[in-house]
Amino acid sequence: MNNELKEEREKVPFNVEELTDWLYGGADKVKEKRFLENYFYNGVISKADPSYLSHVEKYEEAIRKVGIILQRLKQLTNKGQYGEELYPKILGGTFIKHLIKEGNPISVHFDMFLPAIKSMGTTEQQAEWIPRAAKCEILGTYAQTELGHGTYVRGIETTATYDPSTKEFLLNSPTITSYKWWPGNLAHTVNYALIMAQLYTNHTCQGVHAFIVQLRDENTHMPLSGINIGEIGTKLGYNTVNNGFLAFNNVRIARKNMLMKNSEVTENGDYVVHKNPLLTYGTMTMTRIGIINEVQIFLAKAVVIAIRYSLVRRQSPIDPDKPEPKIIEHITQQYKIFPAMSKAIVMNISAKFMWKFYYDIMKQIDNGDLSRLSELHSLSCCLKAICTNDATKDVEICRLSCGGHGYLNSAGFTDIYKMVTPAQTYEGENTVLFLQTARFLLKSWEKALKGLKLPSTVAYLKYHINSNQKQKESFDSSPRGILRSMQSTAAAKIATAYRHVEEKKKTFSEEESRNFCGLELVKISELHGRVFLLQTAVNELEKVSKKSSPQLSYVFKDILELFTVDTAKNYMGDMIQHISINSVASERLQGRLVAVLKRIRQYVIGVADAFDFSDEILDSTIGAYDGNVYKRLIEATSNSPLNHQPVNESFEKYLKPFMKSNL
């Protein structure tokens, strides 16, 4: 153990375990988390550094790990310790991504294939497909994105044409842009797929619907007739997720393979709607919430690495008459890392809120109440965009805070960055998602103008309905004061955007008008999302600070202070247009920022340890618990194949002839 880290831990004034219990939802959940991590980690992870494996070797290694995990899952369930609900928990969430750094080759089976059947399949269809899929007797993916269309689902070109003479659907990929492109696990892993395709029946297109299609033989795994399938190629990351392409040439499937909970095609070809067709997109809403939860964990890993390294690394004297300080003593270093730490914690809170929100609304929908579906959709869109944008940016800042050592693969940032950055575009490109949220906000403002009841997440609009006519309110730098200022700013900008769109509609279509105002619409969605994060942080952190031990209570107050002050600084340019902020208030805000950074510095190792990442899961030479950074960096060099021999064969083949050529 590095002595300096040991001393830092001895100075932590609160019980680290108490904070860990809160982060993970209770002591029982922490105990289970640790048991499962230890149970699945041992024997699954090889000591070989995967960064030196070939593309094919990485995929095969990932499949090997999945096989071992499945065996161990079966052993646990056979003992009666857990039921089949453990399968998606281990194989479909973030847990397995700690074990397979380049991505889980069967993740989509649990994250989207099974949930889609549950949400869109009839009772009979669920009984037919779910038991086999839950036991992994068949593996499936969710194939929606195409070469020519991604976020714009209505533009999908794959067709499913009903043939009443055979009671079958005929699937085709009519153009090169209709190739399914990007679905995870598709290329060589799964043998089934849930295909989103344009439904044609009685010569009429009824829009995008879901169909279960077998792609490969269940015994030989060979592609079936009419199926053109393969891998799209290597990527920045996620290379063992096995993203694929898929095209159909007159592939026939039974009528019952169309998921028919929300709508169906009868045997004679009649199209019948049972429920709101928008429910078809429920799986993507759930997936976006899952992404919010995932990126907060990856951001937390980056923060832990940066904090531990910064408490060990010494460089750049602050006082020329004193030894080099730990780099964390530099206020600039604190400002790089600590706000990211506060964001990870607030994202943790928000993800928990969103899961509860999602399941509450799903219950309402099951009872026939769809009134809050658009609110759920809009909130999941803007939060997915904000959280993935923030996580990507802050993971990179954490890497930069570790200097050159952070650039090494062994530091751990590479794998983390490769996990968070694609989340900005998959399951909806972030700008497009902001624009979808904006549509909900414009409709909500229109309701507010009419005095109608507003959904809870936009209820703040009614308090600011006349904000553009009022005298500017004075800025208050307390957490609740910052929340009020951001609410006023968001409401004022929503009102302005609404007015601009309405003015454009006098000359242009609604779609053209929104396009003209696109920059404003993205901004109002971002501000709305920030308001939600602030509201959630204020409510939860104030509440938990009252329930916690006195020592930990101060930590929660500091985290809230830092998160709100940092948000205010980042959006000062927007707030100053609608809030009265003088130079004194601005200086006071800066003072609060510096003060809270200094307070957090004293116990920050305790917060880092509370995230409870084992060394195996963190997998970082510079962020390990013992703090032996330099020893681990040197030891990691032995993993390089180039170091396994003193002279590489390229010397004799190429370098020596060149050097001896007397040029």
Strand partners, 648: none
CB 142 within 8 A of CB 185: no
- Please indicate whether residue 272 or residue 274 has the higher confidence score (pLDDT): 272
Give the pLDDT confidence score for residue 281 in this predicted structure: 63
pLDDT in tens, 150-204: 878 899 999 999 999 999 999 999 999 999 999 999 999 999 999 999 999 999 9
pTM comes to 0.92
Average pLDDT over residues 420-445: 95
- Tokens 């009903």 map to which residue? 162
The overall average pLDDT reported for the chain is: 93
**For residue 652, is it within any domain?**
no
318 and 420 share one domain: yes
Q: Is 93 within any annotated ligand binding site?
A: no
pLDDT of residue 42 exceeding 80: no
**For residue 611, is it within any domain?**
no
Q: How far apart are CA 327 and CA 314, in angstroms?
A: 5
Read off the pLDDT band of 292 (50, 70, 90): very high
SS3 call for 146: strand
Range of the domain at 516: 435-465+477-602
Contacts of 410 (CB under 8 A, 6+ apart): 49, 620, 621, 622, 632, 633, 636, 639
Q: Is 177 within any annotated ligand binding site?
A: no
CATH of residue 460's domain is 1.20.140.10
CB 338 within 8 A of CB 307: no
Q: How far apart are CA 411 and CA 405, in angstroms?
A: 7
CB 278 within 8 A of CB 209: no
Average pLDDT over residues 93-108: 87
144 and 196 share one domain: yes
Alpha-carbon Rg of the chain, whole angstroms? Answer: 27
Q: How far apart are CA 30 and CA 24, in angstroms?
A: 6
Q: How far apart are CA 448 and CA 444, in angstroms?
A: 6
Average pLDDT over residues 44-66: 86
Contacts of 444 (CB under 8 A, 6+ apart): 454, 455, 458, 461, 494
Domain boundary among 275, 300, 324: 275
Q: Which candidate, 515, 452, 463, places its Cα nearest to that of 490?
A: 463
Contacts of 612 (CB under 8 A, 6+ apart): 20, 23, 24, 30, 33, 34
**For residue 113, is it within any domain?**
no
591 and 450 share one domain: yes
Give the pLDDT confidence score for residue 591 in this predicted structure: 94
Domain boundary among 275, 295, 326: 275
**For residue 201, is it within any domain?**
yes
Average pLDDT over residues 257-269: 95
Do the strands 227-231 and 244-248 form a parallel or antiparallel pair, or are they unpaired? antiparallel
Our count of domains for the chain comes to 3
97 and 44 share one domain: yes
- Please indicate whether residue 471 or residue 225 has the higher confidence score (pLDDT): 225
Average pLDDT over residues 333-352: 98
- Tokens 């105002």 map to which residue? 517
Q: Which candidate, 205, 400, 373, 236, places its Cα nearest to that of 302?
A: 400
Q: What values do phi and psi take at 230, rounded to 5?
A: 180, -170
Read off the pLDDT band of 625 (50, 70, 90): very high
Q: Which candidate, 268, 272, 224, 220, places its Cα nearest to that of 248?
A: 224
Contacts of 497 (CB under 8 A, 6+ apart): 438, 441, 442, 517, 520, 521, 523, 524
pLDDT of residue 48 exceeding 90: no
pLDDT of residue 344 exceeding 90: yes
Q: CA 307, 308, 312: angle at the middle one, nearest 5?
A: 115
Q: Where are the beta strands (DSSP E) in 237-289?
A: 244-248, 251-254, 263-265, 271-273
Give the pLDDT confidence score for residue 46 in this predicted structure: 66
59 and 21 share one domain: yes
485 and 439 share one domain: yes
**For residue 1, is it within any domain?**
no
70 and 153 share one domain: no
Q: How far apart are CA 306 and CA 321, in angstroms?
A: 27
Which range among 34-38, 284-288, 495-499 has the greatest average pLDDT? Answer: 495-499
Integer angstrom CA distances of residue 235 from 104, 244, 422:
15, 12, 10
375 and 345 share one domain: yes
Contacts of 101 (CB under 8 A, 6+ apart): 50, 415, 619
499 and 545 share one domain: yes
Percent of the residues in the chain that have a pLDDT greater than 90, as a whole number: 79
pLDDT in tens, 203-236: 999 999 999 999 999 999 999 999 999 999 999 9
Q: How far apart are CA 559 and CA 345, in angstroms?
A: 8
Read off the pLDDT band of 598 (50, 70, 90): very high
**For residue 394, is it within any domain?**
yes
Read off the pLDDT band of 96 (50, 70, 90): confident
CB 532 within 8 A of CB 345: no
Q: How far apart are CA 201 and CA 320, in angstroms?
A: 80
3-state secondary structure 227-242: EEEEECCCCCCCCCCC
- Tokens 């490969």 map to which residue? 216
Q: How far apart are CA 185 and CA 111, in angstroms?
A: 11
Domain boundary among 570, 586, 602: 602
**For residue 642, is it within any domain?**
no
Q: How far apart are CA 15 and CA 21, in angstroms?
A: 10
Q: How far apart are CA 552 and CA 610, in angstroms?
A: 12
**For residue 6, is it within any domain?**
no
CB 514 within 8 A of CB 521: yes
pLDDT in tens, 482-529: 999 999 999 999 999 999 999 999 999 999 999 999 999 999 999 999
Which positions are annotated as active-site residues? 427
Give the pLDDT confidence score for residue 16 in this predicted structure: 98
CATH of residue 260's domain is 2.40.110.10
- Tokens 């279960």 map to which residue? 212
Average pLDDT over residues 345-354: 97
Q: How far apart are CA 519 and CA 507, in angstroms?
A: 19
349 and 263 share one domain: no
Q: How far apart are CA 382 and CA 432, in angstroms?
A: 10
Q: What values do phi and psi take at 99, rounded to 5?
A: -90, -30
Give the pLDDT confidence score for residue 663 in this predicted structure: 63
194 and 65 share one domain: no
Q: How far apart are CA 505 and CA 334, in angstroms?
A: 48
271 and 289 share one domain: no
Integer angstrom CA distances of residue 26 from 317, 451, 611:
42, 42, 13
